[in-house]
Amino acid sequence: MKTTPTTTALIDERGEQYGAAHLTTSRIVQLLYSMHLHTNIIKSDVFFCWLMILNKLVRALADPSYKDNWADIAGYAELALRELEAHHKALHKVQS
């Protein structure tokens, strides 16, 4: 797969803005993923929200004043809450 000048520019821009966030994030993701495999407590949809929140937190470390990262974190947290609420409602219907 060949990258375009636009893709290269975007990667370079994000690298300047956030540093090597993918390295930090990947280390933490490996830890969380191994934890997820052993506990099997959370659904994959919620796990995805964890990962995205983590990604946005790493970005926020690089630039805490960039509001979009914080808005994204709030959005992914809301999605996780909705998924958990739906899961709990489904469990209570089965148990009733």
Residue 21 clears pLDDT 70, i.e. is over it: no
Q: CA-to-CA distance for 79 and 50, rounded, in angstroms?
A: 10
Give yes or no for residue 40 having a pLDDT over 70: no
Q: CA-based diameter of the chain, in Å?
A: 58
Q: What would the mean pLDDT of 55-82 be, rounded to a whole number? A: 92
Q: Name the pLDDT band for 73 (thresholds 50, 70, 90).
A: very high
Taking CB atoms within 8 Å and a gap of at least 24, the contacts of 40-48 are 43/83, 43/87, 45/79, 45/80, 45/83, 46/80, 46/83, 46/84
Q: Indicate whether 41 pLDDT > 60.
A: no
- Residue of higher predicted confidence among 55 and 95: 55
What does the angle CA 74 – CA 29 – CA 63 come to, to the nearest 5 degrees?
50
- Residue 79 pLDDT greater than 90, yes or no: yes
